[in-house]
Amino acid sequence: MATKRKVIITCAPTGAIHTPSMSPYLPVTAQEIGDAALAAAEAGAAILHLHARDPKDGRPSQEPALFQEFLPRIKAETDAVINITSGGSPHMTVEERLKPAHHFKPEVASLNMGSMNFGLYPMLGRFKEFRHDWERQHLENSRDLVFRNTFSDIEYILTSCAANGTRFEFECYDISHLYNLAHFVDRGLVKGPFFVQSVFGLLGGIGAHAEDLAHMKRTADRLFGNDYVWSILGAGRNQFPMGTLGIAQGSNVRVGLEDSLWIEPGKLAESSAAQVVKMRQIIEGLSLDIATPAEARQMLALKGASETNF
């Protein structure tokens, strides 16, 4: 009997690009973030992609002290791979964004593979009430926002983390981002296997049509052959449709309240773990198995949790 393919579920439970007023279920405090991450791991997530928030007002923060409040607990209570953001917020400098990755030396960090318009302002049409002054302005400012990820920025992230043994979740929001990754592969700054997170449905990036997904896959196959591990992130209402399409074509998948607040049309997800459970049901319904953290480490050639600094 043929061995079932293993699908890595990444979960992003901390909702960094969203504002706390959009959902009462978004974790803000260290206790809430830890609880959300551990519940997602228990539900089947092999990788946890984590941001931190200022507990006073929920604003995204890259201060290592805030990560320190939840990272050791999560590491102690689950063997899931911890993936720390280097994206932070589009309003931060690359040096600010990299503080936690430099300090904690995680197994995996995210890395956005190109500058782009990053349009969150359509959410203003759906959400009218905000608890904190910064939230409405955060969304409004995205009308005139370029999320900077220049070649210099990307090179700095790759080289400054190289000695730490940190590998990357390469977040590719468009076809050009795959070519940017290929550029750094050609220069020898990135070694396989590449963990390519294809992001669909965010205003400013590639759309969320089946043809967009097929184009991403064809291009990645041509550029990287068998040297990459593919994963799908569908933003907002695209989370489950795009994830399902990708899994059926050989991908892994990412879910979580960072990427979508919803569990089904018109219904907020009460937790990221609920999204993991639903995606796991889809995976198992396709006669596939979810990958354990140990299997994910092997597939991505990670250094192991013991080599991190937390």
- At 302, phi and psi to the nearest 5? -90, 160
pTM greater than the 0.75 cutoff: yes
What angle in degrees, to the nearest 10, is found between the helix axes of 151-162 and 175-186?
A: 50
Cα distances (Å, whole numbers) of residue 150 to 27, 111, 162, 181, 234: 31, 12, 18, 12, 24
What pLDDT, on the 0 to 100 scale, is given for residue 90?
A: 87
Please give the Cα distance from 116 to 249 (Å, whole number).
27
CA distances from 107 to 21, 41, 192 (A): 32, 16, 15
For residue 89, what pLDDT band results from cuts at 50, 70 and 90? confident
What's the mean pLDDT in 198-203? 97
H/E stretch holding 74 reads helix 71-77
pLDDT at 1: 60
Q: Which domains occur in the chain, in start order?
A: 6-303 (3.20.20.70)
Q: Which amino acid, 74?
A: I
Tell me the backbone φ, ψ of residue 109, rounded to 5 degrees: -130, 150
How many CA atoms are closer than 13 Å to the CA of 138, on its beta-carbon side?
Answer: 22
pLDDT, position 44: 98
Average pLDDT over residues 22-38: 97
